[in-house]
Amino acid sequence: MRRAVALLAAALLLAGVAGCGGSGAEPGAPKGATVVLDFVPNAVHTGIYAAQAQGFYEDAGVDLHVQVPGESTDAPKLLAARRTDFAILDITDLGLADEKGLELVGLMPIVQTPLAAILARKDGPVKRPADLDGHSVGVTGLPSDTAVVRSEVAGDGGDPDGVDEITIGFNAVASLAAGKVDAATGFWNAEAVEAERQGVPLHVFKVDEYGAPRYPELILTTTRKELEAEPELVEAVVDATRKGYEFTESQPQKALADLLAANASLERADQEAQLKVLLPELEPKPFDEAVLKEWSAWASEHELLPRPADVTKTFDLGN
């Protein structure tokens, strides 16, 4: 009797597996996937939310869940542990993940240029990066800030060793407005836009204008295992995401509405101002291997990476 019951159970199990296509999903149903953002939703993510709202992921057979990172979220480790399928990573974090043996792969650029900059009040003593020699600059405390400061000052002919770095956390606009520092590191698409909206006139010195190459800042990333095991899913997500950013380029107001509809706490005026300055850099072009090699050399020179990255391994140059 027990043998008969076991055989019946096995038959039912096999029938169930066959009926679900072996994946637990109905035949033809979208395949579920998750992407973890690099930060709270903002204008730089507009193409992703537009792709969701306009049905580009659904058309590609993907049911994409967008996950907002928590304070302690370590996206590279979530990817490596296969607790998410995709993530938006800063290019330096991607390079460091390779050094740690996490075997992550950059799939496509989200933004085509560095977002880091040095911000200085127009009524202050810093008129160009070289002027920071002998003056103070506020930094968050992250190593990347020091790399930006030293690269810009040296690239403009100044002495980086003469700069007084003061840790201010993520309070660039308030510190500049109060005159606590002569300049501060920040993002030209965020803090610089916020300062302008608050009536704080600034000089904005972008890192790629003073010493750094024009590298892509944010990267849609997956694992090597995911790329090899689910090539169709990866291709579908990349294609749909690219369509989302193409839609953002051609219809920015509709794309902005998609971002705001999915994130009710965002203020329209803030995100509209950010998207306006970002639009020229959201063009979803493929990777440029030569640019990636320039970034790798620059990041290594400024100790963001212990050694230059193998860009042919770290990035899927076919996208």
pLDDT in tens, 255-301: 999 999 999 999 999 999 999 999 999 988 999 999 999 999 999 99
3-state secondary structure at position 85: coil
At 22 the pLDDT is: 34
Specify the amino acid at residue 159: D
Q: What is the mean pLDDT of residues 124-141?
A: 96
Check if the beta carbon of residue 135 is closer than 8 Å to that of residue 166: no
Residue 71 pLDDT class (50, 70, 90 cuts) = low
Reading the block at residue 95, the tokens are 């390079």
Select from 40, 87, 47 the least CA-distant residue to 65: 87
As a whole number, the mean pLDDT across the chain is 90
What are the residues facing 136 on neighbouring strands?
A: 164
- Predicted local distance difference test score (pLDDT) of residue 18: 33
Q: What is the mean pLDDT of residues 36-43?
A: 94
User: Residue 269: helix, strand or coil by DSSP?
Assistant: helix
Tell whether the model's pLDDT for residue 74 goes beyond 90.
Answer: no
pLDDT of residue 142: 85
Quote the DSSP letter at residue 283.
-
Spatial separation of the C-alpha atoms in residues 98 and 211, rounded to whole Å = 25
Q: Which of 86, 74, 96, 72 is nearest to 34 (CA)?
A: 86
Residue 188 binned pLDDT confidence (cut-offs 50, 70, 90): very high
Count of CB atoms within 10 A of residue 71's CB? 4
**Rounded Cα distance, 209 and 122, in Å:** 18
Cβ 129 vs Cβ 117: under 8 Å? no
Q: Provide the pLDDT for residue 26.
A: 60
pLDDT exceeds cutoff 80 at 242: yes
CB hemisphere CA count around 177 (13 angstroms)? 13
- pLDDT for 73 equals 65
CA angle 31, 33, 38 (to 5 degrees): 160
Structure tokens at 188: 């030209």
pTM metric for this prediction: 0.87
Q: Is the pLDDT of residue 214 over 50?
A: yes
Unique residue bearing structure tokens 């085509």: 112
pLDDT tens, 93-105? Answer: 999 998 888 999 9
**Do 202 and 192 meet the contact criterion of CB atoms below 8 Å apart?**
yes
Helical segments of 1-108, H only: 2-19, 46-53, 56-59, 75-80, 91-99
What H or E segment, with its residue span, contains residue 105?
Answer: strand 104-111
- 318 — pLDDT class (breaks 50, 70, 90): confident
**Amino acid occupying residue 264:** A
Closest to 237 (Cα-Cα) out of 43, 27, 87: 87
Whether the pLDDT of residue 182 is over 70: the answer is yes
